Amino acid sequence: MGTGSGIEWASARLPWPVTAGMADPGLALGQVVERASWSGFDRWWSKVAGVGFCARPIHLVGVDETGREHTVLARCKNRRASVCPSCSDLYAADTWQLVTAGVIGGRHSMPATVAWHPAVFVTLTAPSFGPVHGVRTGASGGARRCQRPVRVASTPSYRRCVHGKPLWCNVIHHNENSPRDVVGQPLCVDCYDYLGHVLFSWWAPELWRRFTIAVRRVLRSELRRRGEDPDKVAVSFVKVVELQARGIPHYHAVIRLDATPTERDEAVAAPVTSITATELAAAAQIAAGQVRLTVADADGGSRVLRFGEQVDTQPLTSDPAPSGASGPTGGDQGGAARRVASYLPKYVTKSVGEFGLSLSRMSPEAVEVLDVCPHVRAILTTLVSLAASGARYAPMLAWLHTLGYRGHITTKSRRFSVTLTALRARREAWRTDHAGYIPAGLLIGEPDDLPAVATGAADTDGPLQMGTEWSFARMGHVCAADYYRAVSAAVRAREYRRLARDAYRDDLAAA
């Protein structure tokens, strides 16, 4: 691959930050030239390619039965695009497989008939804690100004807050040219309810848990009203968390109705019910409105938390399903299910790095010196203050780096579809079948570990001896040149895959 163009591409266009000592592409250019002339470059390049051009490969050291020392590379497996574009792309692809198997079926042991199960796409947002700058769209779909001015009754002036600041913004913000320190920022920092913001983020996992319970209760009540057996209908779901521009989580989820299994490993069957996808969407709306959670605040009082009023529910299947339908795209009305399957995975690769925060835990003393916008700093300050108010919220200090959100990014019910572990095991089996030998690294670690032999004190080009035990040596590349080469190669490999996929689709359409 080219040297200078790859560095320029990675440093100028990619949003991924570089590690300490790698921030200057000009400084790395000399290292690139020096590394390219290194006698072991081809060998190093094959090893990096073996772990998918991981930006932070894990170096493992082990001694085999003959006493020879080996060093192997393994993927970092980080889902965040700001950390490793290669591993995050793989994680998103696995999530796509997981969601697609659950909404369309016909793959990964999921029957094609799940495409006809009543299913709905749900978005649960946080309530408003004060007006913020945002990207707005009009009724026709075009961009409009951020906040429209509202006149005060019987006066020629426009409405302002109690602090005298205007409650309007005539700027049209766009995702591609509006910086993070504008979109999501409150119009008035003094009016914004930061305590409510932080409490919602902290208790969001509990609100989601109560929502899943409420959905099941609403459905059971409706089934009893219709004279149907509620014990024969089960609810399956998958959800993904997205941090909005204002730094607060909201949920995207797919909810599906199945038949209650009689055995643990029984195949997913169609539910015996007259409830349609549209009625399931209505049930989700009712359940979201019922969820309430009373929590303590910093002053010894209490506060009631709930989801925001912008609850969106979109049916994914036809009402009703045609008799005997079994096609894998039967319930895909206008490609809605496929769009949802492509929509959810893009959120699993996002991180708080977009807000200027570290991806690891931080000390409360670092809040004042962080290079973040005033809104993010106010959130962190509120978290620290609330953690100091009592033992109930003391654990918040361990979640400063996530802006107070302590839940999982993605979760699913057991029977919704295939698991990530199963997908990784299947990939491991494929790579094992297509490899000339089985590295000893497969004997330990997670199923996706397929380390490539790296240069060691007593390295060998042959297969490793079975029974080698590995220990962690270090993580990451040794210099800026290696980092930029790996990131550039990962981006190009992704573009090649997309071009190949588009060409394959064109060939299918032509055929």
Average pLDDT for 32-59: 82
Name the domain boundary from 412, 440, 461: 412
Q: Are residues 280 and 246 in the same domain?
A: yes
**pLDDT on residue 224:** 95
Average pLDDT for 236-255: 93
Q: Are residues 284 and 324 in the same domain?
A: yes
Q: Are residues 379 and 234 in the same domain?
A: yes
- Whether residue 56 contacts residue 483, with contact meaning beta carbons closer than 8 Å, is answered with no
Is the pLDDT confidence value at 276 over 90? yes
**pLDDT on residue 54:** 92
Name the domain boundary from 372, 394, 412: 412
**pLDDT on residue 236:** 95
Q: Are residues 349 and 288 in the same domain?
A: yes
Q: What is the DSSP string of 43-72?
A: HHHHHHHHTTS-SSPEEEEEE-TTS-EEEE
**pLDDT on residue 6:** 36
Q: Are residues 120 and 206 in the same domain?
A: yes
Is the pLDDT confidence value at 209 over 90? yes
Q: Are residues 287 and 390 in the same domain?
A: yes
Q: Are residues 468 and 493 in the same domain?
A: yes
Question: Which residues span the domain enclosing 183?
Answer: 133-191
Q: Are residues 402 and 329 in the same domain?
A: yes
Enumerate residues 6+ apart whose C-beta is below 8 A from 122: 251, 252, 253, 254, 255, 281, 284, 288, 311, 312, 313
Q: Are residues 104 and 78 in the same domain?
A: no
Q: ∠ CA(246), CA(250), CA(253), 5° rounding?
A: 155
- Reduce the DSSP state of residue 454 to 3 states and report it: strand
Per-residue model confidence as pLDDT tens digits over 339-379: 898 889 888 888 776 787 877 888 889 888 888 888 999 99
Q: Are residues 358 and 464 in the same domain?
A: no
Name the domain boundary from 356, 391, 412: 412
Q: Are residues 455 and 318 in the same domain?
A: no
Q: Could you tell me the pTM of the whole model?
A: 0.81
Q: Are residues 365 and 314 in the same domain?
A: yes
**pLDDT on residue 207:** 97
Give the DSSP letter of residue 126: P
Domain count, the chain: 3
